[in-house]
Structure formats: structure tokens, C-alpha cells
């Protein structure tokens, strides 16, 4: 066992080094991230390494559009049509005194400039579970029952987040988030035909072609994750979460979702297109520049290397 692995067995040691890293990262966020990424991307042989290198060098306008939860709506609407968007209830630069009376019983609040800090108001949440205090520093996702809504707490939570630079909270200062105008977005709560939270279909696209389909199920209860190829063959692969115990049925609208993902990713080297199949319609969730932030690793590692080689081969075909 390496000495560093031995030390990291102890939570107090891990906490110390995390605080030390964050201290320097908040003081010199971009510089520290660039130095760290430089040494981690000297030799790239995996898809995670490619994502980290993309964080380090890609400063194109398009990645800022994709990272912006509000600007993404305009991009999707222009390219494939507004029928693929969630229903919007409001966009606010200030979270104080939100017009709660115009919102439905169930809805979602989120920031435009982050990948977390989401409040989901759902009747399926426990009515006996009340959130005492929101932790804005960790950008968590909260699921609360409509009867437990505390307007002041939620408005304070989002007010603090609107004044935070989310890029500083990412592992390697993800540049795209630092260029976004922060706003609060209030939109519909998505449900499938059974009234449950829908499965999250994430299409990994290399140079405008879907090469991998990631399905996340029960994200807020018992999160499981599976991977399929574009022909819907189950892959023996894991990343961060366990696989489900059963093979999922091939979606009836798989072809439509693949076409949609490839249209949205046509001009990008690597883009993950997150979609929801609600039965009567397909909805675009997010467009992700840096899947897993480059730190969620595939197992086995040989799969990551094969993805990287596939990305390079797709590039040569463009």
C-alpha cells in the first residue's frame, strides 16, 4: 500500500487535505486548477483524461452556452424546437420575494450557473421530513414536500448561491461556469407516464455521434446506473454507482432520442446530452461539457481507454 493511500484511510487526514486544497483553490482558483490539470493531462490515455484536458484548454463560447442552464434553452429551441423543453414558470435575477402564488403544487428551482443547488418540490417526498437548513456550500439537491415549503429559507438559499462562483466549488475550476450570469430558474417537475420521476437517459456523443447511453434510475432514493451501446446492448461497465439488477427494455423512442442527441452535439468534440422520455414527449434536461467532471472513473479501466480511442477515431471521420 502506498503511503498516501495509507494516510487517506483516515477521514481526518482526507478532511485536512481537502480543506488545504480548497484554501488555495479559492484564493487562486484558476491558477491552482491549471497547474494541477497540467500535471494530470501530460499524457492522456483515457476518456477521463480527455475531459480533464478539455477543462484545462477549451475556452470556446459554446461550452459556456452548454453550461448555462438558461442559455441552453435558447440553443435547444433554435436547433430542434421548443417542444423539447421543460415548461418554464419564471426566471429571476433576484430570489427575494418570489411569486410563489403563480407556481403549481410541484415544481423545480435551480440556478443557471451550477450543476447542483436544486430544490425539487414533489408530493412524493415525505411530508414528515422537514429541512432545517439548506447547505449552500455543498450545492446539494433537496427534495421536499409541498407542505414543507418555507419561502424564506428557500429564498435565502438561492440568494446566497446567486452570489457564489460555482466554478470555485468544482474539483478543477470548470471555466465555463465562471462565465454565466446567475439566475434562478423555476420549471416543471418532470414525471413519466406512471407519475414517477423519469429515468435519466444520458447520451455520450463523440463528434456528433452517440457512442454510449447512460441510464440513471432512482437518483434521489436508491441510485443505480447502467450503460448500453447505441444498439441497446447492455455493457458490463460501472461508474460511481452500482448497476441495476435487471436489463431495461429498449425504449420505444430510442431512435428519436439518438437523432435528437446527435443534432444537439453535431459541432462538439464531446458532449453528453441528457434526455427524459415522459411517454408522450421527450424533454432535454442538460447538455454536459464535462461528464462526471473528469473524476468519475469507468470500471474496468480498459473501457475508458477504448472510449478515448473511439473519440479519436470519430474525430478522423469528421
Question: 2-49, pLDDT tens digit by residue?
Answer: 454 454 455 666 566 655 555 555 444 555 556 666 656 667 789 999
More confident residue, 288 or 219: 288
Q: Is 36 part of a structural domain of the chain?
A: yes
213 and 259 inside one domain: yes
- Do 148 and 237 fall into the same domain? no
What domain range includes position 123?
87-187
Name the domain boundary from 156, 187, 218: 187
Same domain, 269 and 157: no
Domain identity same for 140 and 219: no
| Residue 300 preceded by cis peptide, ω within 30 | yes
**How many domains, in total, are found in the chain?**
3
Q: 50 lies in a domain? A: no
Residues 139-167: tens digit of each pLDDT: 788 888 998 898 988 999 899 889 888 77
In a shared domain, residues 179 and 108: yes
Q: Produce one character per residue of 136-148: b if its CB has 16 or more CB atoms within 10 Å, e if not.
A: beebeebbbbeee
Distance CA 233, CA 147 (A): 43
In a domain, 53, yes or no: no
d(CA 255, CA 70): 27
Do 312 and 214 fall into the same domain? yes
Domain CATH code at residue 222: 3.30.470
Q: Is residue 215 domain-shared with residue 158, that is, in the same domain?
A: no
Domain identity same for 170 and 210: no
- The answer on pLDDT for 259 being more than 90 is yes
Give the Cα separation of 76 and 127 in Å (integer): 36
Average pLDDT, the chain: 85
Do 214 and 182 reside in the same domain of the chain? no
Element holding 239 (H helix, E strand): strand 238-239
pLDDT value at residue 316 = 60
> Are both 26 and 114 inside the same structural domain?
no
Which of the pair, 28 or 110, is modelled with greater confidence? 110
pLDDT band, very low/low/confident/very high, at 67 (cuts 50, 70, 90)? very high
Q: Are residues 204 and 310 in the same domain?
A: yes
- Given 160, 187, 214, which residue is the final one in a domain? 187
Q: Tell me, yes or no, whether 52 lies in a domain.
A: no
Q: Does the structure show a pLDDT above 90 at 1? A: no
Amino acid at each position: 500500500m502506498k503511503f498516501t493511500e495509507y494516510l487517506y484511510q483516515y477521514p481526518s487526514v482526507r478532511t485536512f487535505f481537502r480543506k488545504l486544497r480548497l484554501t488555495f483553490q479559492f484564493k487562486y482558483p484558476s491558477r491552482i486548477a491549471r497547474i494541477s490539470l497540467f500535471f494530470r493531462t501530460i499524457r492522456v490515455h483515457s476518456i477521463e483524461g480527455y475531459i480533464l484536458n478539455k477543462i484545462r484548454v477549451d475556452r470556446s463560447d459554446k461550452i459556456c452556452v452548454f453550461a448555462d442552464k438558461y442559455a441552453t434553452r435558447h440553443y435547444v429551441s433554435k436547433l430542434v424546437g421548443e417542444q423539447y423543453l421543460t415548461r418554464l414558470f419564471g426566471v429571476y435575477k433576484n430570489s427575494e420575494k418570489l411569486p410563489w402564488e403563480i407556481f403549481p403544487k410541484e415544481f423545480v428551482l435551480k440556478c443557471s450557473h451550477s450543476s447542483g443547488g436544486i430544490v425539487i418540490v414533489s408530493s412524493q417526498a415525505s411530508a414528515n421530513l422537514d429541512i432545517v437548513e439548506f447547505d449552500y456550500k455543498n450545492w446539494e439537491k433537496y427534495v421536499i414536500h409541498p407542505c414543507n415549503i418555507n419561502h424564506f429559507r428557500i429564498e435565502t438559499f438561492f440568494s446566497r448561491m446567486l452570489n457564489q462562483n460555482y466554478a470555485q466549488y468544482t474539483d478543477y475550476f470548470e471555466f465555463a461556469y465562471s462565465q454565466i450570469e446567475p439566475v434562478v430558474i423555476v420549471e416543471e417537475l418532470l414525471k413519466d407516464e406512471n407519475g414517477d420521476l423519469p429515468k435519466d437517459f444520458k447520451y455520450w456523443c463523440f463528434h456528433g455521434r452517440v457512442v454510449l447511453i447512460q441510464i440513471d434510475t432512482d437518483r434521489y432514493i436508491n441510485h443505480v446506473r447502467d450503460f448500453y451501446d447505441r444498439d441497446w446492448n447492455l455493457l458490463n461497465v460501472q461508474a460511481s454507482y452500482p448497476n441495476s439488477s435487471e436489463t431495461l427494455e429498449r425504449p420505444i423512442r430510442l431512435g428519436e432520442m439518438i437523432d435528437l442527441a446527435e443534432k444537439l452535439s453535431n459541432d462538439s468534440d464531446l458532449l453528453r446530452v441528457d434526455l427524459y422520455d415522459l411517454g408522450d414527449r421527450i424533454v432535454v434536461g442538460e447538455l454536459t461539457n464535462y461528464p462526471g467532471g473528469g473524476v468519475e472513473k469507468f470500471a474496468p479501466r480498459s473501457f475508458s481507454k477504448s472510449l478515448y480511442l473511439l473519440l479519436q477515431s470519430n474525430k478522423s471521420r469528421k
